[in-house]
Amino acid sequence: MRHPLHPALVHFPIACWSLATVADLASLVGGEPAWRLAGVLLVAGIGFAIPAMLAGFLELAKVAEDNPAIKDVNRHMIVVMCALAFYTASLFLRLQGTHLIEPGLLAIGMSVLGFLFLAAAGWLGGKLVYGHRLGVSPP
């Protein structure tokens, strides 16, 4: 495959996690329907993140150690793994066994922190493509 798979897969966890954070904040006024939706979106986002991250690791293997982009590649990877960690923590804080329960402020805070790291990871990903031209075919 000529086109990198990673950029095609990242849209799913980004959408799920972003909407989960919005639903978490909406649950502060909207109650149960919003926090239940947030929980389901967290599960989906984490599930979609696994293949996206695996594809990212495959792309990482193609970047030479002396490439000037390698520092930004590593930053991108670390920041997105932090986002995954915050969203996963948020999910575990709202689970009782296998059942979703109403999230506390800590769980919602973890979701917000996850979103901030997700936004930073997206910015770094854009820098890799548009600044360093990684994954872009030569003209």
70-121 pLDDT tens trace = 999 999 999 999 999 999 999 999 999 999 999 999 999 999 999 999 999 9
| pLDDT band at residue 3 under the 50/70/90 scheme | confident
> Residue 64's CB: how many other CB atoms inside 10 A?
8
Q: What pLDDT, in 10s, does the model give residues 108-125?
A: 999 999 999 999 999 999
Q: Is the pLDDT of residue 2 over 80?
A: no
Q: Which of 129, 85, 107, 133 has its CA nearest to residue 25?
A: 107
Under 8 Å between Cβ of 53 and 79: no
pTM above 0.75, yes or no: yes
